[in-house]
């Protein structure tokens, strides 16, 4: 599923809210989270929104910074977000310089887990990549993401764990 979010030219693409996961989530929930294996969204200057739904196909691995994490426990707990954020800090990832960002996340779960429930805590934990407010490290500047790809894979060996692969980088000039 791909969603193109239309913004008027005077609206900043990489700030001011309009987080892409907030646009995607209600659409994917309406379609059925268990039936959608990949969801993409972009923010661009254009006159109208666009939505495309088609069968998923294999993709090549993005070129950019990459991080791999295996997380245990409930994504609703603060410990889950702390572990993801700390894994980024421990890996010494560099914050993307100011401006719009692209992000791709491959999320592997066991079949009983609803992968869309992971989106918000995952993205909120990306302060080391996106920047964050010192007073609230789980309020990452995720409105900087102007191109978002979320992929889901079932893996019965994970049970209650989640395997994340993250790729990101600054948006190339248009």
Counting the structural domains of the chain, the total is: 1
In a domain, 61, yes or no: no
Tokens of 67: 């991080």
| Full domain range(s) for residue 105 | 2-56+68-170
Query: Got the DSSP string for 57-97?
Result: ---PPPSSEEEEEEE-S-TTSHHHHHHHHHHHHHTTPPPPP
| Residues 92-111, mean pLDDT to the nearest whole number | 95
Q: What is the mean pLDDT of the chain?
A: 92
Cβ–Cβ under 8 Å, residues 89 and 137: no
Cα gap 118→24, rounded to integer Å: 13
Cβ–Cβ under 8 Å, residues 14 and 99: yes
In a domain, 103, yes or no: yes
21-44 pLDDT tens trace? 999 999 999 999 989 999 999 999
Cα gap 118→163, rounded to integer Å: 11
In a domain, 148, yes or no: yes
DSSP reduced 3-state for 146: strand
In a domain, 161, yes or no: yes
In a domain, 138, yes or no: yes
Kindly tell me the sign of the dihedral angle through the C-alpha atoms of 119, 122, 127, 132: positive
pLDDT at 174: 67
Higher pLDDT, 144 or 56: 144
pLDDT at 133: 86
| Residues 104-118, mean pLDDT to the nearest whole number | 94
């Amino acid at each position: 599923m791909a969603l193109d979010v239309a913004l008027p030219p005077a609206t900043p693409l990489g700030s001011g809210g309009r987080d892409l996961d907030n646009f995607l989530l209600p659409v994917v929930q309406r379609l059925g989270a268990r039936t959608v294996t990949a969801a993409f969204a972009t923010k661009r200057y254009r006159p109208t929104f666009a939505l495309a739904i088609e069968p998923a196909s294999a993709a090549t691995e993005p070129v950019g910074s990459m991080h791999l994490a295996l997380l245990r426990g409930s994504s609703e707990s603060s410990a889950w977000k702390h572990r993801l954020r700390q894994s980024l800090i421990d890996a010494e990832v560099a914050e993307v310089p100011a401006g719009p960002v692209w992000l791709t996340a491959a999320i592997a779960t066991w079949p009983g887990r609803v992968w869309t429930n992971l989106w918000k805590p995952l993205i909120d934990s990306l302060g080391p990549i996106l920047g964050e407010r010192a007073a609230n490290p789980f309020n990452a500047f995720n409105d900087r993401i102007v191109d978002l790809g979320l992929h889901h894979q079932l893996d019965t060996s994970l049970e209650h764990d989640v395997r994340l692969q993250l790729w990101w980088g600054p948006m190339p000039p248009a």
